[in-house]
Chains A and B, each alone.
Chain A
Amino acid sequence: MSAATLQILIVLAAYTIGVMLLGFISYRKQATITDFLMANREFNYFVLFAAVFGANISAVTLVGVPGLSYHIGWVTWAYFVTTWAWLSPLLYYTIGNRAYVLGKRYDVTTISELLGKRWESKGLQALSASFLLFYLIPYMMVGIIGGGRTFAGLTHGFIPYWVGCLLVTLIVGAYVLLGGMRGAAWVNTFQTAVFLIGGLAIFLVIAYSLGGFGAATSAVVDKYPELMNRSKIPWQKFFSYGIICALAVPVFPNVFSRLLTGKSSKELKKIILIYPFAGLFLFVLMAYSGMWGHTVFPALKGAESDQILGMLLAKFAPAWMAGVLGAAIFSALMSTLDSQLLAIGQILMKDYILPNRKEKTANKSDTTRTRLVLLAFAIIAFVVALYKPAGIIKVVEWAFGGFASMLFPVIAALYWKRCSKGAIFASILVSQFLNISLPLGLIPAAKLGGFLPAFWSIVGGLVILLIAAAITPAPDKQKTDEFFLSFAEK
């Protein structure tokens, strides 16, 4: 092992110890399952922003975005930011504002619980929870893959991919199992600060090393003009992913539950205002860093480009700084991984265990049981990550489609009195069938018009929702009015 690699590992170890300490301190403060999963809904806007943004910003941003911009250029930031950064917060208002009220009244913490409560249907609740869990595994896997690839890039392969994956899984698993939501939120506050500041530092180090913004971009214009003119990405894909990403984020189980952890809905309003600025800031930095990296390491193929940031840091930054900036990358992916683990705990508890228990309340052993199940899910995601599937963005384009297809049923639950349970069942089943079967070739890709398969699953689900709601009987008026009364009360 070289001295530089040793320095990088020492800095990363110090960062890990700090994160674990925060988790341990939170563990000592926590008592009940609600505290473990929702931190008693007591966060102010600063912690809430860090918790929600940290849950949202993942390996996709600090590993996948540089990796993608390496191949398709600057357009990568627009690919995400010109819809997601403003439309998702807008949908946080649309959904979060009302869901927050339901959270207070019925203790709702998951999307599936919301659907189940609206139509008083355990079947609907279990069906939607199953799909949410199904898509959480590849989404978690993305974080583990990002960790493995970043470790390999930073240490020139000294830490092999599988060891990097294992380390990330163990660290996140440990502080989530210890600290729960409270621990994860405090760790995320620290991590969000680290990856925002670290992201800027990474960008500046790379730009400076390449002779400045202008010189770095000129090299791209001269040698790789395709990275500037967007010829590497069809407009149909750009259009469809913008919609998929923006509609998926508010329905991410890990983001949704955190929207409900604020002290009041005023906290939600404040984070919505900060969100687009933080999003633009980070994605622009990452996209340009990855694009400029193409001129330094021109021969990376496919998913190899996910390592580009780690490789650039190892080449241009002093070893200690590469370690610190590497910690920024780990902060982003770990802050999402921990929230995903907690979201799994919430789904299991609120959608499967409590609805089928007579007393409908949690007991002390539930916290231990939940921890064991979270551990099992972390192991599953780790094992799947070892198979090194496609690049990070490819995986999320599919998984995000599954989440995005759930958005219209959720909006219908919160705003559409006439919508029936049958219509929601039909919409979920059709959209999820399309999202799973289209990438498998149910309809040849050439016939999808260049749009991503997930785009058609969202459209299909919406069309079925509208038709089925029109032809099925309206739900019971009294029960529906009672549900909607929640929004009229303060």
Chain B
Amino acid sequence: MSNKALLTFVYVLAVVLLFIRIDLWWWGTKIHPIIAGWITLPMLYQLGIWAAGVALIFIVCFAVWKDDSAAKGGN
């Protein structure tokens, strides 16, 4: 995959994450902690969104950003 395609993939996924971060199915419902008496499923879901976002950063830093040369381009 080219740099441009990879970067497009990252940005599209970033937008998707912005929307699916709203877990409407749990919103406002009473949920009891399932881990260590204080972690609930919606908390884990939000943590998952954060982790997916971090994965995008790793893709950019290790697969797209070739130090100073990454500044090339324009459309």
Contacts and interface: CB of A to CB of B under 8 A. Distances in A.
Q: Do A and B bind each other?
A: yes
Interface of A: 74-75, 77-78, 81-83, 85-87, 89-90, 93, 97-98, 100-101, 212-218, 221, 225, 228-231, 235, 238-239, 242-243, 264-266, 269, 272-273, 275-277, 280, 288, 415-417, 484, 486-488, 490
B9 interface: no
A397 to B, nearest CB: 17
Contacts of B60: 90, 93, 272
Contacts of B32: 221
A235 B27 contact: yes
24 contacts: A74-B43, A78-B43, A78-B49, A83-B17, A90-B14, A90-B53, A90-B57, A93-B65, A97-B70, A213-B37, A217-B33, A225-B30, A228-B30, A228-B31, A229-B31, A231-B28, A235-B27, A242-B21, A264-B67, A264-B68, A265-B68, A269-B65, A288-B38, A416-B75
B74 A487 contact: yes
Interface string B4-44: 00000010001001110110101111111100111010110
B68 to A, nearest CB: 5
A273 B40 contact: no
Nearest to B70: A97
Contacts of A218: 37
Contacts of A275: 57
Given A86-B56, A488-B73, 18 more contacts: A82-B53, A83-B53, A86-B57, A89-B57, A90-B56, A93-B57, A97-B71, A101-B68, A214-B33, A221-B33, A228-B31, A228-B40, A229-B29, A265-B71, A269-B67, A273-B61, A277-B54, A280-B50
A153 to B, nearest CB: 25
User: What are the 10 A-B residue pairs with the smallest beta carbon separation, nearest first?
Assistant: A214-B37, A86-B53, A217-B38, A78-B46, A484-B74, A231-B28, A82-B49, A487-B71, A213-B38, A101-B71
Nearest to B10: A90
A322 B70 CA distance: 47
Contacts, number: 126
Nearest to B33: A217
Contact of A85 (B18, B27, B40, B50): B50
Contact of A215 (B22, B37, B40, B53): B37
B71 A214 contact: no
Instruction: Kindly state the interface size class of chain B when it binds its partner.
Output: 35 or more
A86 B50 contact: yes
A266 B37 CA distance: 42
Contacts of A216: 38
Contacts of B65: 93, 97, 269
Contact of A98 (B30, B37, B50, B71): B71
Given A239-B22, A417-B74, A230 B42 contact: yes
Contact of A273 (B53, B58, B67): B58
Highest count of chain B CB atoms <10 Å: which of A86, A100, A275, A288:
A86
B62 to A, nearest CB: 9
A216 B38 CA distance: 8
A296 B28 CA distance: 24
Contacts of A213: 36-38
B38 A82 contact: no
Contacts of B14: 87, 90
Nearest to A212: B37
B2 interface: no
Given A87-B53, A235-B22, A272-B61, A230 B33 contact: no
Contacts of A486: 71
A443 to B, nearest CB: 23
Nearest to B55: A86
A93 B38 CA distance: 35
Contacts of A264: 67-68
A275 B36 CA distance: 27
B22 to A, nearest CB: 5
